[in-house]
Amino acid sequence: DADVTQTPRNRITKTGKRIMLECSQTKGHDRMYWYRQDPGLGLQLIYYSFDVKDINKGEISDGYSVSRQAQAKFSLSLESAIPNQTALYFCATSKGQGDNEQFFGPGTRLTVL
Amino acid sequence: AQSVTQLGSHVSVSEGALVLLRCNYSSSVPPYLFWYVQYPNQGLQLLLKYTSAATLVKGINGFEAEFKKSETSFHLTKPSAHMSDAAEYFCAVRGTGRRALTFGSGTRLQVQP
């Protein structure tokens, strides 16, 4: 069974629509992250959460919002999707201590038309 | 602030040849460093990590990396490439304080038969 799951795996939507991407983990980790991957740019941090009440903006948070519903769940929302948000989105988790090794979900491929 | 530079967005080697993927970092504190691999249509998987113990780190699938403080480098090597090594490789550095990892832009490795 996967430790970090993301739903949906693929999504096509239209400009202006509201979209929610969901992430769940069974690793018992406190920290959760959302990244965006674009070709040639690596991974860019959108938001991160160190516990349910501790949510922080990353490098590219504009146009995105998040919700940490429980220790195991962290959702990413695009309130009004635009074409340049077309990308591969990854959720990751890590322990609250140590080297901060991150464990990644399989990704969600989002296309905004 | 920390940063990572991966030299070469694409590297092509012949099967059986040496693999060398370059990573240089910038960090104001002693870093934790990571190499992740991404196979097509999959999430990121940890190859190896440096956490201030031995400077030569061995990872999965025959990969290893050497931490060189004087050169601020953490290059990834494998003595003999296999076709199955074809993937994208990301170097990452742990951020200072509470921050998440900072990733390089990635290097796509092609292995020619």
CA A70 to chain centre: 15
Looking at residue B60, what DSSP letter applies?
G
How confident is the model over B26-61, as pLDDT tens digits?
Answer: 877 778 899 999 998 888 999 999 987 788 999 999
Q: Is the pLDDT of residue B8 over 70?
A: yes
Interface with chain A: mutation pick from B6, B27, B38, B44, highest number of A CBs within 10 Å: B44
How confident is the model over B96-109, as pLDDT tens digits?
Answer: 666 678 899 999 99
Q: Is the pLDDT of residue B11 over 70?
A: yes
Q: Is the pLDDT of residue B1 over 80?
A: no
pLDDT in the model for residue A104: 94
Q: Is the pLDDT of residue B83 over 70?
A: yes
- Looking only at the bridges linking them, the beta strands covering B73-78 and B64-68 are antiparallel
Q: What percent of chain B shows pLDDT beyond 90?
A: 71
Q: Is the pLDDT of residue A2 over 80?
A: no
Interface with chain B: mutation pick from A61, A99, A103, A109, highest number of B CBs within 10 Å: A99
Choose among B84, B54, B98, B59: nearest CA to A96. B98
Q: Is the pLDDT of residue B84 over 90?
A: yes
Q: What count of Cα atoms within 13 Å lies in the side-chain half-sphere of residue B53? A: 7
Q: What is the mean pLDDT of chain B?
A: 91
Choose among A32, A19, A106: nearest CA to A68. A32
CB pairs under 8 A between A and B: 52
pLDDT in the model for residue B40: 86
Place of tokens 């190896």: B48
Q: Which residues contact B54 (CB under 8 A, 6 or more apart)?
A: none
Measure the CA–CA gap between B8 and B100, rounded to whole angstroms.
24
The beta strand positions in chain A, using DSSP E, are 4-7, 10-13, 19-25, 31-38, 42-51, 54-57, 65-70, 73-78, 87-94, 103-104, 108-112
